[in-house]
Amino acid sequence: MQYHLPENYDTFNEARQNGFLRVKKIKESNGLVAGIFCTFTPLEILDAAGIIPVGLCGMSDETIPAAEAQLPKNLCPLIKSSYGFALTDKCPYTYFADLIVGETTCDGKKKMYELLGTMKDTYILHLPQRHDDHALDYWTEEIRHFITYLEQKFSVKITEEGIRKAAVIRNAERQAKCRLMEMQKLNPPPVFGHQIYKTLEGAGFIFDRQETIDLLAGFQESAVEKYQSGLRPVREGSKRILMTGCPMGGVLDKTVKAVEDRGGVVVCFENCTGIKAAAPRVDTDAEDIVRAVAARYLQIGCSVMTPNSRRMEMLTDLVKEYQVDGVIEVDLQTCTPYAVESFSIRRLMGDAGLPYMVLETDYGKADSGQISTRIEAFLEML
């Protein structure tokens, strides 16, 4: 079969273009690709099946008008953007995907996946929304069902040995991500948070795990070497900010860059695209490796969990470890779980004696000036 890049290929940045070319090459070599959205997708299972997981597009307002022809206008921008990219065929990863893997982390996404299922084969993982043993039992069986589905659909065999080997390399990748983020504990930090985030984002367009690990480790080692030699781009005394809340990709410039353009520095991303999802590891020595994989993912403190004690515990530790001066929560409009949970986070930060601010926003630029003004005032208050 002949595969073609999208007509708007030239409009994407270099990292994404290279990612598209890599996926095209995978498909031309008869490889299998699964489009994914969420950090709860058990990557080790896809790896063991020989299926390349690819994060689907959904970080811009470009395709939201097209999505709003079918979706409510008051829906989360991440959902509308994701669906819009699939609907307009502007996301090559969706085009190349043999399967889309969704998850029940959000009611809006669940219904959006139903519509995606009319365009592409879509499998929904039903995630339990608590952290106890009963939830682990359920989630383990849900992953076993996923394994059976993949084996039958793609005529592959997913072995315990294959899952264990995949878990080892995924653990190594997560360790490399954490080491990169943890160098920001230095005071002043070696680089700006915006650069950390863009590096992690760029690594997502590389589908060879060892190449990804080498890239992250190389960036971290180079940054530390420059730091030790006296090259320190972040001014000493810059206010140290921890970012929490929703995924940051579509609002990175008007939040993180705004902080750093005004004299602050983002030292930690607790968001699901940051340390929250990278920190948990799979116990690769466990007798039941599928259950160990399930246990690893249930450690993620997403706001869909109730009660979400994992997020509270992690934030309490992170503000100390990263010597944080203030916390900024970024909540995408109509993301009810994070919006409601912000009350608990505000109270938690109050108990810790830390200033806290919530920015509710979407992927548009209309509120950029207002957000910049609020961030500037917040930094002046610290």
d(CA 122, CA 126): 13
Q: Which amino acid is located at 123 in the chain? A: Y
Please tell me the distance from the alpha carbon of residue 40 to that of residue 53, in angstroms, as a whole number.
12
Least confident stretch, 1-5, 92-96, 187-191, 266-270: 1-5
As a whole number of angstroms, the distance between CA 128 and CA 294 comes to: 11
Q: Which amino acid belongs to residue 274? A: G
- Whole-angstrom distance, CA of residue 261 vs CA of residue 254: 10
CA distance 79 to 200: 22
Residue 37 DSSP symbol: -
Residue 2 is assigned to a structural domain of this protein: no
* 15-37 pLDDT tens trace: 667 777 888 899 999 999 999 99
CATH label of the domain that carries residue 296 = 3.40.50.11900
Q: What's the whole-number mean pLDDT along residues 305-317?
A: 97
- Is 4 within a domain? no
Same domain, 174 and 323: yes
One-letter amino acid for residue 343 of the chain: F
CATH number of the domain within which 34 lies: 3.40.50.11890
Q: Which two structure tokens, joined as six digits, stand for 124?
A: 């929904």
Is 230 among the domain residues? yes
Q: Point out the domain boundary residue: 109, 125, 156.
A: 156
pLDDT at site 267: 98
CB within 8 A of 43, min separation 6: which ones? 36, 53, 166, 170
Looking at the structure, do residues 359 and 222 belong to the same domain, yes or no? Answer: yes
Residues 21 and 79 in one domain: yes
- Answer yes or no: are the C-beta atoms of 65 and 92 closer than 8 Å: no
Domain boundary among 156, 186, 210: 156
Report the distance separating Cα 167 and Cα 146, nearest Å.
Answer: 17
Rounded to two decimals, the pTM is: 0.94
Q: How many domains does the chain have?
A: 2
Q: Is residue 134 part of a domain?
A: yes
pLDDT for position 24: 87
Split at pLDDT 50, 70, 90, the class of 11 is very low
Helices (H), 72-205: 77-87, 92-96, 107-116, 133-154, 160-182, 193-203
Tell me, yes or no, whether 115 and 206 share the same domain: no
pLDDT at 7 > cutoff 60: no
Shared domain check, 207 and 332? yes
Kindly report, residue by residue over 130-155, the tens digit of the pLDDT. Answer: 999 999 999 999 999 999 999 999 99
Could you tell me if residue 223 is inside a domain? Answer: yes
pLDDT value, residue 14: 64
Are 49 and 132 in the same domain?
yes
Q: Are residues 66 and 177 in the same domain?
A: no
121 and 254, same domain (yes or no): no
* 179 and 224 inside one domain: yes
- In the numeric block, the tokens 């548009």 are attached to 364
119's tokens: 């365009």
d(CA 51, CA 49): 5
- Identify whether residues 212 and 149 lie together within a single domain: no
SS (H, E, C) 275-331: HHHHCCCCCCCCCCHHHHHHHHHCCCCCCCCCCCHHHHHHHHHHHHHCCCCEEEEEE
Same domain, 219 and 142: no
Last residue of a domain, one of 156, 180, 205: 156
DSSP type of residue 35: E
| For range 338-353, the mean pLDDT | 97
User: Residues with Cβ < 8 Å from 322, sequence gap 6 or more?
Assistant: 184, 185, 240, 242, 267, 268
Q: Could you tell me the residue range of the domain that residue 229 belongs to?
A: 162-381
Domain assignment present for 304: yes
Contact 159, 176 (CB under 8 A): no
> Is the predicted pLDDT of residue 9 greater than 70, yes or no?
no
With 0-12 CB in 10 A as exposed, 13-18 as middle and 19+ as buried, what is 317?
exposed
> Quick check: 40 and 127 in contact, CB under 8 A?
yes
How far is 371 from 379, CA to CA, in rounded Å? 12
147-183: burial string, b at 16+ Cβ within 10 Å, e else: beebeeeeebebeeebbbbbbeebbbbbbbbbebbeb
pLDDT score, position 21: 85
Asked if residue 1 belongs to a domain, the reply is no
Domain-located, residue 3 = no
Given a cut of 70, whether residue 211 has pLDDT beyond it is yes
d(CA 316, CA 297): 20
What the block records as the tokens of 72 is 């409510």
Please check whether residues 29 and 75 belong to one and the same domain: yes
